[in-house]
Copies of this chain bind each other. A is one copy, B any other.
Amino acid sequence: MSDERIAVGVDLGGTSLLAAAVADDGRVLGRAKRKTRAERGAKEIIKRLEESIREALAAASLGPEDAAAVGVGVPGPLDPSTGLVHCCPNLGPSWDNLPLADLLGEALGMPVSVENDVNVGAVGEYTYGAGRGARDMLAIFVGTGIGGGLILDGRLRQGARFSAGEVGHMVVQAGGPACGCGQRGHAEALASRTAIERDVRAAIRGGRPSIVSELMDLDNGRLMTAGIIAQAVQRGDAVVIEAMRDAQHYLGLLISACVNLLDPEVIVVGGGLTERMGDAYLEPVRAVARQHYVNQSDAERVRIVQAALGDLSGAIGAAVVARQRSG
């Protein structure tokens, strides 16, 4: 087993972190999941990262000496060349200007690479998932926000300020609804799960009946999950179906904008809604996108497909990045 070049990738999220020991061929040999416990601060989280990495290796009957490199996908802006995290809004102020690659590297005694969490998800899907074999791929992950990662000519596009791929903040409807970033009309404010939830809650407040009131307690501060949305759609709930249709429309417009700019081969769509609803979610998105392609010839060659690696795309991609960067 130790002949293989094992790399460990970690997907660090605001609520949980997932580590995977990944073989050369993309197989996940072992994994470990823990709560992030962001409130305990960076030092504690780095310890939890370290433990989860050892645990993922142990789950594959491996030790630290079997791993060639470690990669971490981090939810915030950072400098991949130095391993310095600029900040992580979801993880708290102890992450401001944190030299994560150095700190975790010292703790583990092996090279650590860091990269944006959405970018590693894109790398995972490109290398071992739905983007395999393409030359260019745009990955769009739709959750409470909308993130993206761009692979061009087989390489992750990081951008001059390491902030490429922010598809969620492309304007799709000038003057439209407010986005979390403070501006208006961005794709995230129109096509994310948060946008669907906003519209559904507004309709319910306006007196329209919706099954969502039965499926969840609307007053306990919890978010509407992809599971609840998918269930409501399946049960024919008009309010959710309308909000979903709007979100699909705007996601289609976003994709068309990216296609008209980049003309890529494949757009990989990930996130809970695609995972649960598959083509029922993607087919209307494809139809809208295609309508807006300025080049209508060979339009069917632009594939819009579901992500293949589910929750593991980030951890697998982080392992790929680690392997690439450790030479």
* Residue A222 lies at the interface, judged by CB distance under 8 Å to chain B: no
Secondary structure of the A side of the interface? loop
Give this chain's copy count.
2
* Chain A residues with a Cβ closer than 8 Å to the other chain, count: 54
Q: Is there contact, CB below 8 Å, between B297 and A253?
A: no
Q: Which residues 96-112 in A have Cβ within 8 Å of B in the complex?
A: none
Residues in B with CB closer than 8 Å to A323 are none
CA distance A314 to B250 in the complex (A): 35
Residues in B with CB closer than 8 Å to A157 are 152, 262-263
> Which of B164, B175, B254, B264 is in CB contact (< 8 Å) with A173?
B175
Q: Is there contact, CB below 8 Å, between B174 and A301?
A: no
Q: Is there contact, CB below 8 Å, between B171 and A257?
A: yes
Residues in B with CB closer than 8 Å to A250 are 174
One digit per residue, 1 when the CB lies within 8 angstroms of any chain B CB and 0 when it does not, for chain A 133-148 equals 0011000000000001
One digit per residue, 1 when the CB lies within 8 angstroms of any chain B CB and 0 when it does not, for chain A 168-205 equals 11111111100001010110001000000000000000
Q: Is there contact, CB below 8 Å, between B297 and A170?
A: no
Residues in B with CB closer than 8 Å to A153 are 153
CA distance A263 to B77 in the complex (A): 13
Q: Is there contact, CB below 8 Å, between B263 and A181?
A: no
